[in-house]
Chain A
Amino acid sequence: MMKQGTFTILENARIARDTFRLVLEGDCSAVTGSGQFVQVAVPGLYLRRPFSVSDRSGDRLVLVYKRVGQGTAVMAAMAPGEKLDLVSGLGRGFDVAAAGKRSLLVGGSVGTAPLLLLARELQAAGKAFDVALGFGDAGLAFYVKEFKEMGAQVKVATQDGSLGREGLVTDAIRALEGSYDWFYCCGSKVMMRVVCEALPFGGECSMEERMGCGTGICYGCSVPTTAGMRRVCADGPVFRKEEIVWERI
């Protein structure tokens, strides 16, 4: 169940170009798993901003965000010690129990963020995984070291070839040596559609839409699914590959 509360900023450091790692301290008890998100009230702006939970331990919550607009620009200018009002514990996250013998974690750009907590959960559950990441260029890459330190095989593709292979995240997937029976994916809609079409086995995608409430009451973020239009915030954000009607996205 979701919870509203005040969090204190412990760190707000740049970890890649325009990309920040925000470490918050507060009551994290509503966060039950990876793939869930929080709604951040950004000082001076009307609507809250949704961010996936990237990591969590005890009363510390980690969000990774990219400075792309007004809200994230305000956040990027905030300093340790400042407070943020959060609604936490939102959404249905990744299903760790669905993982088979070896899973493939596929991240695109800042969509890589929630895969870190997922990787920790898979590791704790004794489930093997490898990681394929796609970024625009080397300057935008993050978390490569963190995944490698967890013992996973990690392959990266960049559009300009400045890090790893030149190409898209599907090229990083091709570079991995192993056989997989399940995947977890988070990135842009275009990227996730390509990944779903490329991989011959089942998996889950964390969908993204511009949100109003984040709590399921406004129907602002619906996506077409095989069960009709469903809310990314409350019915997702994580959906199974076959649930999403990609042609209508």
Chain B
Amino acid sequence: MGKDLSVRLCGVKLRNPVIPASGTFGFGLEAADWFDLDVLGGISLKGTTLEARPGNPTPRIAECAGGMLNSVGLQNPGVEALVGEKVPALRRRFSGAIVANISGFSIEEYAAACAAADRCADIDLIELNVSCPNVRHGGMAFGTDPKSAAAVTEAVKKATRKPVLVKLSPNVADIVAIAQACEDAGADGLVLINTLLGMRIDIKTRRPVLANVTGGYSGPGVFPVAVRMVWQVARACRVPVVGCGGVASAEDVIEMMMAGATAVQVGSENLRDPQACPRIIADLPEVMDRLGIDSLKDIIGIV
């Protein structure tokens, strides 16, 4: 069939648009035991902060209709371990784009962590996480206000020469205003959406299921929300958009790209199906053929 799956994201060529989403693929190497990582376009690594963090108490996971809630709370070994151990180890097994997902609790901390990531030659893109709903005084606090989102984007752009993608929260009234504020502050691209803030209650114990009470909702149930936000932002902004949220099939990838996504992240599906990404990538040519698509680049934002 000779289908062209490649795309270009912020100057980085991806062999296909499929990227496992941050927080659903560890630090990449875990999955090398069960498939060849080189089938992937890129890998977005687990959210990392300047200093190591233990994360939230358990239970951190709750199931719900159409997906799940998580409140992991950015458990990570810190940016020095990321650039010193995790990324170099992954690079030995993976030739595609490595995306470092950076989070923080102050603008200075975001900038310092991104400066450390900047010094790591194996990192291709930085994904600024201003949308984690599971930590207090950080994460989503920066991504729900256009001024704060712009300020952190601007500070990070000064700290690195690598392309910076800003990952946005859907828990806002006006996603376009936040997206435009990040673009104006120098963001090279936007990733949306992070999880939707949710909550479950165990009606037998009359207590919240999650130790952190609330958590982020992800899975197929959020897919239409993600498609809508990608569409809104892609037509309002000039920088590329990476679509994320509930993607579980090759058809979903194509729908997300038609909405305006240049690349597509697969999240929760990796948790229920360890072969989710290779399966989706393998299915793409046939689905493209059925839909009369020769090159994925041709359908970006075609809706």
Which of B3-11, B85-93, B269-277 interfaces with chain A? B269-277
Distance A224 CA – B211 CA, assembled complex (angstroms): 15
A224 to B219, CA, bound (A): 28
The reply to whether B66 and A220 form a contact with Cβ atoms under 8 Å apart is: no
Asked if A221 contacts B60 (CB within 8 A), the reply is yes
Query: In the complex, are the beta carbons of A218 and B72 less than 8 A apart?
Result: yes
- Once the chains bind, are A212 and B61 in contact (CB under 8 Å)? yes
Interface hits, B68-122 → A, CB 8 Å: 68, 70, 72, 75
Output the least CB separation between B89 and chain A (Å).
14
User: For the complex, what is the distance from the CA of A116 to the CA of B272, rounded to whole Å?
Assistant: 28
Nearest B residue to A1, CB-CB:
B33
| Chain B, interface residues (CB within 8 Å), range | 20 to 34
List residues 172-227 of chain B with CB under 8 A from any CB of chain A: 219
Q: Mark A107-141, 1 if CB is under 8 A from B, else 0.
A: 00000000000000000000000000000000000
Which residues in A have their C-beta under 8 angstroms from that of B62? 210
Contact partners of A196 in chain B: CB under 8 A: none
On chain A, the residues within 8 Å of B31 by CB distance are 215, 217
- With an 8 A cutoff between CB atoms, is B138 at the interface? no
B160: interface (CB < 8 Å) = no
For B33, B62, B274, the residue with the greatest tally of chain A CB atoms inside 10 Å of its CB is B274
Known A46-B68, A222-B75; contact A216-B61, beta-carbon cutoff 8 A: no
Q: Is A98 an interface residue (CB 8 A)?
A: no
Contacts of B68 in A (CB 8 A): 46-47, 212
Instruction: Determine the chain A residues whose CB is within 8 A of the CB of B33 once the complex forms.
Output: 1-2
A-B pair count, CB < 8 Å, reads: 93
List the B side residues contacting A221 at CB < 8 Å.
Answer: 58, 60-61
Min distance, Cβ B175 to any Cβ of chain A, angstroms: 26
* Nearest-Cβ distance from residue B132 to partner chain A, whole angstroms: 13
Tell whether, in the assembled complex, residue B75 and residue A218 are in contact, meaning their CB atoms are under 8 Å apart: no
- 9-residue interface stretch from B21-29, B151-159, B253-261, B284-292: B21-29
A47 to B23 alpha-carbon distance, docked (Å):
16
Q: At the interface, is chain B mostly helix, strand, loop or mixed?
A: loop
Chain B contacts for A41, CB-based, 8 A = 272
A224 touches B34 (CB 8 A): no
Q: Do A222 and B275 have beta carbons less than 8 Å apart? A: no
Closest 8 CB pairs of A and B: A213-B271, A220-B61, A217-B26, A210-B59, A212-B61, A216-B30, A220-B60, A229-B54
CB proximity of B183 to chain A, nearest CB, Å: 31
Q: Is A211 an interface residue (CB 8 A)?
A: yes
Contact of B34 among A2, A211, A234 (CB under 8 A): A2
| B75–A213 CB distance below 8 A | no
Which chain A residues in 174-228 approach chain B with CB under 8 Å? Answer: 209-213, 215-224, 228
Known A47-B61, A229-B55; further 20 A-B contacts with Cβ < 8 A? A2-B274, A46-B66, A46-B68, A46-B219, A47-B271, A209-B58, A210-B59, A210-B61, A213-B271, A216-B26, A217-B25, A218-B23, A218-B24, A218-B61, A219-B26, A219-B75, A221-B61, A222-B54, A222-B55, A222-B72
* Interface residue? A45 (CB, 8 A): yes
Residue A48 CB within 8 A of the other chain: yes
- Please give me the residue from chain A that is nearest to B60 by CB atom: A220
- Closest A residue to B209 by CB, please name it: A210
Q: A229 to B60, alpha carbons, bound, how many Å?
A: 13
- Looking at the complex, which one of B72, B270, B274 makes contact with A220 (CB distance below 8 Å)? B72
With a CB–CB cut-off of 8 A, which chain A residues contact B63? Answer: 45-47, 70
CB contacts (< 8 Å) of B60 on chain A: these are 210, 212, 219-222
Q: Does B46 contact A (CB under 8 A)?
A: yes
Minimum CB–CB distance from A229 to chain B (whole Å) comes to: 5
